[in-house]
Each structure stands twice: as C-alpha cells, then as structure tokens.
Amino acid sequence: MRRLLLFILLTGLGVAEPPAQWDGLVNNPPATPAVADGLSLRLNEAYEAEVTRLGGPAWWLELVHRHCRENIRAAGAHPEAPPLSQSGRVFVAAYAAEQARLAKIQSRYPSEVRWASDEVVGWELPDRTVQFSFDDGPKSGITEPILATLRRFHVPATFFVLGRSLAIYSPDYTGFAVASHSYDHANLLSLNAAALEAEFTDTESQARRSGLKLLRLFRAPYGSRAQRELTAMKKHGLRSMLWNVDSQDWQAAMQARPGRIASRTLALLLLHRHGIVLMHDVQPQTPAELARLLPLLPQLGFKLTPP
C-alpha cells in the first residue's frame, strides 16, 4: 500500500518511482551519525547512476516545498515528536540522493560524511538545537545586513572568512564567532604541502592585521579534506567544522524564487531536528532569506546556540 502511495505521489509530480533499493532508506531516515555516514557511503557507491537519472532541480524543489508544508503542520500538532509524513519519507530519499549527487560532482569527501571522529558536523548537537554559519565572506553590502538580522533576532553565528576577502573589507563582527575558511577558497586536496600551509598561515596573518581573533575552528572549502588536511589543521590547533544543513543559497535554482532557500533550510531542520546550517554571506539573496527564516525557528521550538 505504501509503495502504491509513493508511486501515486511521485507520478503526480511527473517523475518515476524511486528504485526498490530506496525502501530501506525511506523507512530509516538518517537520525544518528553512524546511520547517516553509512547511508551516505552506501548511496555514493550504489545509487549514483539512479540519482543522475532522476536528479533535477524542479523535482527536488517540489518535494522540499511539499515536505516543508506538511511537516510544519505536523510539528505544530505534535511539537515533541512530529511523525514523518509520506512526503517526508520521499523527502528523506530525495535528500540522500542529493547527497550522493553532490558527492559525485563536487568532492571525494562530501561534507556531511564525517571523515575523522573529532570533526564537528552538527549531528552532535542536542535535539532542537541549531547553529548558524556563514561562509566565503566578508562581502560589503551582504555581510552587514546579515549581522544586523542576526542581532535583531538575538541569534549567534560563526563566520568562516576568507583571508583574501578580509584584506579588502572587514566588518564589525562584535558578538559573533569568526573562524578561517582558508585564504582563497582553494580545494585543499589539490594543493602541494607549501600551498596548503599558506592557506592557514596567510589567513591568520590577515586576521591579525584586521584586528580579529579567530576561533580555533576551520571549515575546508567545499568540505573537501582528507587525512593530510586534517593533520595540518591539528598542527595549527584547528578543529574541522562542517555542516549538516546545506541551505544551497549559492544555487541559481534556489535563488530563482524568494523563499526557496528559507523553506529548504526549514525543511532540513524539521527533518534532522538539530544541526549546523550552512549559508554564504556573499550571495545577494541570503540576507532576505535569513530574515524570513529566523522568526520561524523559535516558534517551532528550536534553540539557536553559538559554536
């Protein structure tokens, strides 16, 4: 019966039924790190071809919006334990599929798969606890409205800055955490040892010149890192911090309609119930999407905490 409903739902959206292998995934959403890691790894290996065939922004976004609406309703009725709706289950499958697709096109080590046990991903946070993070800035005209919105709603956040951007512009980060996201956003895996070292030291030097004290956290560009990069981080007294709620605010398809970025982020938070949100303070739509999202979170019982 459930498979029939799923089929009707998906054909209603104009897409094919998911492959039979998704059943286990649909019934076991990624609730714990171990499950999430294993899930992503299995998906990476087994479902790439299927994901490539099915993956498309319209299909994906429809699911996000449907899931978001239904789970907001469910969360309102049962604040402690909202049941995962049928479309929620489809969303879980689609989300995992998206992870597999991103893993394929972007990085050997997708951000949401923990590579070392001491990495911070977001799964470690208590239930209904959320941290916000902003990457790739600072950028004049975008970082400041984001800071103002965070201050207005009393929301803490971490800004993962690029050394080269700090050299051009340095806003007033008073009250917020600032940490390194490398000097120039290189894919660390592609660098030789000297260049990798410079990504850390040049950013530290620039932060000093800008009068900033950096938190001992590091976010690898693209989430792209392996053992060598983690060892280098450790040498500099840095801990790797990733995310598990990707707003995808950098995607043209997400930016195309106001509200999409906020509702995708909300959908993921309702699905995971805890985590680290990734946004970018270089994208023009991000300040407005953040302002849309923040007032909803306390209403849904989320606690917003510093790193």
Interface residues with Zn ion (CB under 5 A)? 135-136, 221
In a 10 Å sphere around its CB, with 0-12 CB exposed, 13-18 middle and 19+ buried, how is residue 191 labelled?
middle
Return the structure tokens found at 15: 């897409």
Closer to Zn ion by Cβ: residue 86 or 187: 187
Helix H or strand E segment including 40? helix 33-46
Residue type, 164: R
Question: How far does the chain reach from its first CA to its final CA, in angstroms?
Answer: 44
Backbone angles phi, psi at 64, to 5 degrees: -60, -50
In the complex, minimum distance from the CB of residue 164 to Zn ion, in angstroms, rounded to a whole number: 12
In the complex, minimum distance from the CB of residue 52 to Zn ion, in angstroms, rounded to a whole number: 24
In the complex, minimum distance from the CB of residue 278 to Zn ion, in angstroms, rounded to a whole number: 9
In the complex, minimum distance from the CB of residue 223 to Zn ion, in angstroms, rounded to a whole number: 9
In the complex, minimum distance from the CB of residue 307 to Zn ion, in angstroms, rounded to a whole number: 17
CA dist 50 and 173 (Å) reads 44
In the complex, minimum distance from the CB of residue 22 to Zn ion, in angstroms, rounded to a whole number: 30
In the complex, minimum distance from the CB of residue 185 to Zn ion, in angstroms, rounded to a whole number: 6
Closer to Zn ion by Cβ: residue 123 or 159: 159
Closest residue to Zn ion in the complex (CB): 135
CA dist 30 and 125 (Å) reads 14
In the complex, minimum distance from the CB of residue 181 to Zn ion, in angstroms, rounded to a whole number: 6
Helix H or strand E segment including 275? strand 275-280
CA dist 192 and 173 (Å) reads 32
DSSP string, 45-91: HHSHHHHHHH--HHHHHHHHHHHHHHHHHHHHH-SS-PPPPHHHHHH
CA dist 27 and 33 (Å) reads 16
Give me the helix-helix angle, 260-272 and 86-106, nearest 10°.
110
Closer to Zn ion by Cβ: residue 84 or 146: 146
Closer to Zn ion by Cβ: residue 69 or 239: 239
Closer to Zn ion by Cβ: residue 171 or 221: 221
Return the structure tokens found at 231: 């060892």
Closer to Zn ion by Cβ: residue 87 or 206: 206
Task: Note the Cα 219 to chain centre separation in Å.
Answer: 12
Backbone angles phi, psi at 245, to 5 degrees: -130, 100
Asked if residues 255 and 272 have their Cβ atoms less than 8 Å apart, the reply is no
Closer to Zn ion by Cβ: residue 115 or 243: 243
Closer to Zn ion by Cβ: residue 160 or 176: 160
